Amino acid sequence: MDEAFPIDVWSDVVCPFCYLGSRQLSAALSQFEQRDLVVVRPRAFELDPRPHEEVGLSLSELVARKYGMALSQVHSLHERLEAQAGDLGMTWSLERARPTNTFEAHRLIALATTQGAGAAMSEKLFHAYFCDGMLVSDPETLATLASEVGVTGVDALWASDAFSGDVRADEARATQLGIAGVPSLLVDAKFMVVGAQGTARILDVLRGAWARREAA
């Protein structure tokens, strides 16, 4: 039996539920008895795969248009999300968020993963988008964030199509698995958790997956 306990996480760095879910997963792992065996593998998923640098709408306007909601409803939703983020120790500013395509951000995460910094890079990008109002498709912004995490080779990344195939492979695998929304966590290649279901639920799945492994 392979001792490594993989958790594949399909997410997007502009998805609020993905940021909430990442914090919930971290909290669950802190209580998981076999956490030293866990290998978290970031997987790319683009909420908006259109090739643009910035949508040109505020996040509230974008959500209202996409789902046919009144702006007042969206503002109420955002207030609830910000409160959930606060419960997890985060201070979000969704009115400052700048919706954009995240393909280059996913390539950067893939590069960081090869340097053992995939989780740190993902967290940095989440924070940049949800807390700091930064444009996470801008190459200079991404390069600055990468340097703060200690990721090297970013200039060479932009000068090539490196990791583009990895991003597309992640997205193709998501389609094969029927993943239509994120976050989606595939635990030990057998158990799927879709959505930010909470620390307790994620921990239950982790323990259940481990129990099944031991019983096999």
Spatial distance between the Cα atoms of 91 and 190, rounded to a whole number of angstroms: 34
pLDDT of residue 2: 63
Q: CA-based Rg of the chain, rounded to a whole angstrom?
A: 17
pLDDT of residue 57: 87
**Contact status, residue 130 vs residue 85, Cβ threshold 8 Å:** yes
Count of the separate structural domains present in the chain: 1
Q: Which tokens hold the place of 77? A: 């939703």
| 162: containing domain | 5-215
For residue 207, the domain's CATH number is 3.40.30.10
Position of tokens 């970013």? 154
pLDDT at 180 over 90: yes
Nearest to 99 by CA among 16, 195, 182, 9: 16
Element (H, E) at 18: helix 16-31
Position of tokens 């969704």? 94
Tell me the per-residue pLDDT of 7-51, one tens digit each, with 9 for 90 and over: 999 999 999 999 999 999 999 999 999 999 999 999 999 999 987
Q: Which tokens hold the place of 166? A: 């990895």
